[in-house]
Amino acid sequence: MHEIALIEEIEEAFKGVILKEGIGINEADRIETQERDVLINKGRNLDRLWWKDWTDIEDKYIASYASVMDFMDSQGLKWVLPAYMIYSIKHYKAGSFSIDSTLYTLEAGALGSDKVDLYSLAQKQSIAHFLEYIITVGESYVDVASAKIALDKIWKIYL
């Protein structure tokens, strides 16, 4: 699949996904660094103030917050995953840890800390297509082995 078509597929599949009560980027970052509850709550408020939609998340935040997905719940992951996948498609040659982190999250099933599957069939299909794309183009740049495991172990059935 061509890069532009894949991005459009992801955008369509995740259109309208919002954070709701999920754990967002700033909150997850503060959980990761074991901040006090008051600062974690400030991060929660920042997520809702800064980003109304996942499409509002700028690449600079994705690049800066590589490991936050490990500290998100299912709703937070569903909200942030399309932004990280699109970032990965656009910047896979940069070798950013945010890209490998996205692949590791998908290898683990992308279910979040509460292990709830909130993805629609279209979203699962776009994830499978994303993994196929990364496997095709990323050999010299990202952890393709992890992408292959994720595809074979979980997401291949959605192709």
Q: What does the H/E/C string look like for 40-90? A: HHHHHHHHHHHCCCHHHCCHHHHHHCCCHHHHCCHHHHHHHHHHHHHHHHH
The pLDDT of residue 39 is 95
Q: What is the mean pLDDT of residues 155-159?
A: 97
Does pLDDT of 1 surpass 90? no
CA angle centred on 119, ends 44 and 149, rounded to 5°:
100
**53-74: per-residue pLDDT in tens?**
999 999 999 999 999 999 999 9
- What residues does each domain of the chain span? 3-158
Hey, what are 83's tokens?
Answer: 């932004």
